[in-house]
A = this chain, B = another copy of it.
């Protein structure tokens, strides 16, 4: 048994239901490690969870899909990691806590962007890729990964500073969706893969800019859930595919394989600087409600971190 500080919420609602409380980590099992969390990071899924809108969610869940810190203790069957190692972890939840128990099959790096681009999108080298929400944590990571994949990168966001960052990271064309219509501007571009966190508001424009055999990877619904028109005719006419995906709901086995592949292929890029996390801001864990409200404004450019008070 081990009780640590954590961010809790007792009922679904807005950011104000969040509070610093406690969590019982339970016993350390043979394959677990405990991570002393230095930073956790916000994800759009966290906001949905707090609001009770995450797919198939029935009750409040431990928050926090990512954590970085040091190993504080290891179970008796753990190999290859020792107390004091610095690690990052991809979690099923619970990263918003001082200490996180983590079974040792998945570890190290958040790699949603890698999953979207390579596993779900199966993006070919050199293909044209359109990345919506280019200023988000996953957006900025996806641009870096797409550049390494020699893709021609199109990026949309709602602020000039985000578009400038996207260009700096490797986008060849950018567009401010508040001022221009990418469906019109890019309708002749024949995009191969679209990473879409918007959904409803964009379905018609996405179909317009997509080329033959194009793929839309749908991983968020910030622009609504509805379709109202001849989507199926457009899908058939372009032999298009829509592939829905979420990472949190995946099996531990899937995540382990994902993290492992991502890290093996990209470790060197973090050393040579061709990949590095884009950090927007850092909040103290006691200001978690403020951090959530800020994320909801869509003003962040890169990741929003929570400092966990070591």
Contacts and interface: CB of A to CB of B under 8 A. Distances in A.
A227 B236 contact: no
A239 B249 contact: yes
A227 B231 contact: yes
Nearest to A237: B55
Nearest to A198: B232
A246 B235 contact: no
30 contacts: A55-B237, A55-B238, A56-B237, A199-B232, A200-B232, A212-B249, A218-B232, A218-B235, A220-B236, A221-B232, A221-B233, A224-B232, A225-B230, A225-B231, A226-B229, A226-B230, A226-B231, A227-B232, A232-B244, A235-B242, A235-B244, A236-B244, A236-B246, A238-B244, A239-B244, A239-B246, A241-B241, A241-B242, A241-B243, A241-B244
Interface of A: 55-56, 199-200, 203, 212, 218-221, 224-233, 235-246, 249
Nearest to A231: B227
Copies in the complex: 2
A225 B221 contact: no
A212 B199 CA distance: 19
Given A241-B244, A243-B241, A229 B227 contact: yes
